[in-house]
Structure 1
Amino acid sequence: MTGTEKNPAATPSFRLAYVPGATPAKWVRIWNERLPGTPLVLVPVDAGEAPDVLRRGDADAGLVRLPVDRTFFSAIPLYTETTVVLVPKDHVVSAVEEVTLADLAEEIVQHPLDDVMGWERPPGQPAFERPATTADAVELVAAGVGLLVVPQSLARLHHRRDLTYRPVVDAPGSDVALAWPQERTTDQVEDFVGIVRGRTVNSSRGRAQAPDPQAKAQEKKKPAAARKAAPARGAGRPKPGTKGTKGTKQGAKRGRPRKRS
């Protein structure tokens, strides 16, 4: 590698893809506090497009929905979302606290083409035509055409005043994970892994942090005498059992001399 070539794995920023419903805000805040010199760029992507975005290198890592190809990606499961059914507020389902899949058996349930649940067999009765997106399916539910079963974060994302949702207690959850290509496990990816796993700045598994330039500049402004390390507590004091300044042993027991026989 010549002096003019750049390491293709190194980027001036860290690009984090995230799918609809994922919430990276907490981790982004911690990143900005720990690594202010490396901007974190958020890349919103559709759930189905996330793996291809990471494969192409258009993002360094991503908050994605499982499953992903574990032969190509490393993945750290983060949490599992509750599955809910989205219904009009005047629907009979809104009168109960929770439902089961059996309760939806006779209902028309929209199954959008961008569905993230990965059903082997979707619940309920199929609609005449599948909507293209989850947003389209929400519009149909609002119009009174069927219901929609989605992860809770998507129900919140597409919130409307005329709709509500209830947990589906026996439906599978939706797993959200941090994923990245195994062959591109860069230092920046390791930094973000440490953040999502809750490692502290001084964690033995974390990367060494560069010294704070402001602190370094303030240190240079101090007088030379003040920059010298202060002696440790007790430094310069003779240890017990050693001679003091008058030649006596420190800690020796004092008393009247014994009378010679």
Structure 2
Amino acid sequence: MTQSSLTLGYVPGATPAKWARIWAERQPGVPLKLCAVTAADAAAGVRAGAVDVALLRLPTDTYGLSVIPLYEETTVAVVPTDHLLTATDEITPADLDGEPTLLPLDDVVAWTEAPGNPIDHRPETTEAAIELVAAGLGVLIVPQSLARLYHRRDLTYRPIGGAPNCQVALAFPEGPPSALVDEFTGIVRGRRPGSSRGQAQPAPKRTAREKTLAKQAARAAAGKVARTPGTAKRRRP
């Protein structure tokens, strides 16, 4: 049965708009359905078939999935606009020593030795943690895309030099991909329209010298075939 559409799941902060636009140009008859998923449910959604492919953040449980790393996001600290950490364009982990920090239950920054002093209360979501930052309860460490997604006029953020980056990847079920999944992964990887991974490459064009040498070789071969022993003429002295 031919697949009539493709469903793409994406975690908060991921931006599939560019790839969705290219898909619409190349596959106008096949809808690409965009489905927002939580970071915790993204991989499971692919395994369960709720989405065909997903833009998610690593590390996560990728059992049963094929994963293509795409890009890395800068890790930043979200703070009120009047916070002391806004005095410089970039901060260091040492700048966060002693700072109260918020660690939401959906935290996606894999930083086991993150600086700061986590407060006891853990908000359920990053969006809820943003509200607590605005209330002055602490600093929030997140990928830059999430800081932009939940932007508020009373908050800002600063990149943390030396912090681990956040990896964004494309995930789909293990095994040979369907034609539509293969098409989408090709778009994400920058594959040109009409190209195929298994398509034979055209033979390189020969130079003028190579063509001349080939013709000479062909004539020489034809002369050898035409001559048989005892039939060659002798030249007169």
Structure 1 residue 178 and structure 2 residue 170: aligned? yes
Match of 1:39 among 31, 37, 48: 31
1:146 aligns with 2:134: no
Distance 2:154 2:198 in 1: 47
Q: Paired residue for 1:85?
A: 77
Partner of 1:167: 159
Native 8 Å contact 2:59 2:110 kept in 1: no
Residue type at the aligned position of 1:105: D
> CA 1:21 to 1:125, structure 2 compared with 1: closer, same or farther past 3 Å?
same
Higher normalized contact order (CA 8 Å, seq sep 6+, divided by chain length):
2
CA contact (8 A) 1:111 1:122 kept: no
CA distance in structure 2 between the partners assigned to 1:131 and 1:101 by the alignment: 23
Q: Secondary structure, in 3 states, of the residue corresponding to 1:175?
A: strand
Q: Unaligned stretches of 5+ in structure 2?
A: 200-237
Asked whether the 8 Å contact 1:63–1:178 carries over to 2, the reply is yes
Letter in 2 for 1:180: F
Aligned residue in 1 for 2:110: 118
User: Equivalent residue of 2:175, what SS?
Assistant: helix
- 2:204 corresponds to 1:191: no
User: In the alignment, which residue of structure 2 is the partner of 1:200?
Assistant: 192
Tell me, yes or no, if the aligned pair for 2:73 and 2:166 is still in contact at 8 Å: yes
Task: Measure, in 1, the Cα distance between the counterparts of 2:19 and 2:49.
Answer: 21
- Is the counterpart of residue 52 in structure 1 residue 44 in structure 2? yes
Distance 1:114 1:70 in 2: 17
Query: Match of 1:98?
Result: 90
- What's the TM-score, normalizing by structure 2? 0.80
| Cα deviation 1:10-43 (Å, max 9, x = unaligned) | 4321000000010000000000000001000001
| Distance in 2 (alpha carbons) for counterparts of 1:88 and 1:71 | 39
**Higher mean C-alpha deviation, range 27-36 or range 92-101:** 92-101
8 Å CA contact 1:191–1:206 kept in 2: the answer is no
For residues 99-152 of structure 1, what are the alpha-carbon distances to aligned partners after superposition, in whole Å with 9 as ceiling and x for unaligned?
111110110010000001133233200112111110111000001110100000
Greater per-residue helix proportion: 2
CA distance in 1 between counterparts of 2:50 and 2:3 reads 11
Is the Cα contact below 8 Å between 1:194 and 1:206 reproduced in 2?
A: no
In 2, distance between residues paired with 1:147 and 1:39? 41
Larger Cα Rg: Structure 1 or Structure 2?
Answer: 1
Q: Distance in 2 between matches of 1:150 and 1:144?
A: 17
- Give the paired residue count: 199
Determine the C-alpha separation between the residues in 2 that align with 1:59 and 1:184: 17
- Give the TM-score taking structure 1 as reference length: 0.73
Q: State the secondary structure of the residue aligned to 1:183.
A: coil
1:76 alignment partner in structure 2: 68
Q: Which residue of 1 aligns with 2:227?
A: none
Greater mean deviation of Cα atoms: 120-129 or 82-91: 120-129
Query: What's the % identity of the aligned pairs?
Result: 56
Q: In structure 1, how many angstroms separate the alpha carbons of the residues matched to 2:196 and 2:36?
A: 32
Equivalent position amino acid for 1:122 in 2: A
- Change beyond 3 A, Cα 1:54–1:70: closer
Quick check: 2:80–2:154 contact (8 Å CA) kept in 1?
yes
**2:102/2:119 contact within 8 Å kept:** yes
